[in-house]
Amino acid sequence: MKFYSTNSKKFPVSLKQAVMMATAKDNGLFMPTKILPLPKKFFATIEKESFQEIGLEVANSLFKGSISRKDLKQIIEKSINFKCPLKKISNEKGAEIYTLELFHGPTLAFKDFGARFMAQLMSKFLKNSKQKLHILAATSGDTGSAVGKAFYNMPNIKVSLLYPGKMVSRIQEQQLTTIGKNIQAFEVKGNFDDCQKLVKTAFADQDLRKKLKTKNISLSSANSINIARLLPQSFYYFYAYAQLKKLHPDIKNSKIIISVPSGNLGNLTAGIIAKKMGLPITQFIAATNQNNSFTEFLKTGNYKPKNTIPTISNAMDVGNPNNFVRIQSLYGNKINEIKKDISSSSFTDIETKRAIKEIYEKNNYIMDPHGAVAYLGLKDYIKNNSSQKMIGIFLETAHPAKFADIVEAILKRKVELPTKLKNCLKKKKTAKKISTNYEVFERLLP
Ligand SMILES: *Cc1c(COP(=O)(O)O)cnc(C)c1O
């Protein structure tokens, strides 16, 4: 499989190049040149397969010719090794509602899927070479710990995580600064953009690159636009279907709707790729908070990036979603084609809080703010299309304990912290405090 840039299909690159470069030379994002439907017999018995077996079939199709099935199997066994349950929430008029819990990985957010797969793939590429990697990642919260944990203890790889001091939650800071070994945290006296700027300056610094080259080290990024983070996110859509099929042997006759809480639209893009591979999903919903450039685009046909507005579902506070170009590319820039597969609606913090309370009181289920936005998107769709019998799934992308301050204030009760989180809260924070001065930061790099 080769990978083309969303800006031009003319110069496709290998998987290794796409993964190591993260973005194309023309600043486009990489996409697989072919997305082929999986064979009918795969879907006929999908409910009998494990999550890892399903992931392997999907990966083998998306990466065909780039990496052996045996290597992919090892990568998946080491990265996609936590559960991903589909849970029934309620029966509503016209629909059954389920949630797919994507937060059972080491950092309790769905970004673990992509970060862990990418880390294992990069480590595979380094094997048997003298090459070493230094990964720089700026983070506004969740990405940093997912990336740090994913590369933890990997030979020949070091990671520097830069986060804005005082601007991430206490839990997020503990998660970022207690990983240890080859993972180093930098607490930057500034905001997320300052962190991003330090990373970008380092990437553009030819003297630094030269210095590192003498030690066989190359700089790399763990950016969320990396194709190796995007593609493994399609696995769990297939697994959701497999779990549904076990419960509904006659699933073929149902309309399946999946609502995705969306920020940079990576999760949604992975779902669309699953559909193009033959997964029978009737409709996707891009559920957004007040950062709704994509919702507005589907409504008006005009795409206008906006400044970000802070909300309680902060991992979705994105005014200019970077995977928008991938969605455009998948549909040949035809908005009417996009609209056939994707609907979108956006919600306020007040609505989100109300939904968290309502589902807890009615169904005894605690949603986090991101999952709650997805739930609202699903409910809205069901209300407007009630003539059909539907099965609706909303994706739960983070454990509610990660947003304990918000959720506890709404529900007026404690949210139990999972053991993984409790342990990390006990550890001692280790971070190098730095200013936004690049020269000082540069001297701290190897
Ligand atoms: C990153 C994130 C999202 C948004 O996902 P995109 O792929 O950027 O659309 C949603 N929920 C949580 C908890 C996240 O961390």
- What spacing in Å lies between the alpha carbon of 292 and ligand 1's midpoint? 14
Pocket residue to mutate for ligand 1, from 100, 101, 110, most atoms within 8 A of Cβ: 110
**Could you identify the atom of ligand 1 that is nearest to the CA of residue 263?**
9
Containing H/E element for 98? Answer: strand 95-101
What pLDDT sits at residue 169?
82
Q: What is the DSSP string of 204-265?
A: H-HHHHHHHHTTTEEEEE--TT-HHHHGGGGHHHHHHHHHHHHH-TTGGGSEEEEEEE-SSS
Global confidence as pTM: 0.95
What pLDDT sits at residue 388?
72
What pLDDT sits at residue 27?
85
What pLDDT sits at residue 166?
83
Q: Which residues in the chain come in under a pLDDT of 70?
A: 387
CA-nearest residue for atom 14, ligand 1, is: 315
- What spacing in Å lies between the alpha carbon of 142 and ligand 1's midpoint? 9
165 Cβ neighbours under 8 A, 6+ residues apart: 187, 188, 189, 190, 433
Rounded Cα distance between 105 and 79, Å, is 9
Pocket residue to mutate for ligand 1, from 29, 231, 267, 327, most atoms within 8 A of Cβ: 267
What pLDDT sits at residue 203?
87
- What spacing in Å lies between the alpha carbon of 43 and ligand 1's midpoint? 28
**Could you identify the atom of ligand 1 that is nearest to the CA of residue 368?**
13
Pocket residue to mutate for ligand 1, from 223, 259, 370, most atoms within 8 A of Cβ: 370
147 Cβ neighbours under 8 A, 6+ residues apart: 115, 119, 135, 137, 139, 159, 161, 222
Pocket residue to mutate for ligand 1, from 145, 316, 322, most atoms within 8 A of Cβ: 316
What pLDDT sits at residue 129?
87
- What spacing in Å lies between the alpha carbon of 446 and ligand 1's midpoint? 32
What pLDDT sits at residue 264?
93
What pLDDT sits at residue 217?
94
Pocket residues for ligand 1 (CB within 6 Å)? 109, 111, 142, 261-267, 315-316, 370, 397-398
- What spacing in Å lies between the alpha carbon of 408 and ligand 1's midpoint? 21
**Could you identify the atom of ligand 1 that is nearest to the CA of residue 103?**
13
What pLDDT sits at residue 23?
86
- What spacing in Å lies between the alpha carbon of 385 and ligand 1's midpoint? 26
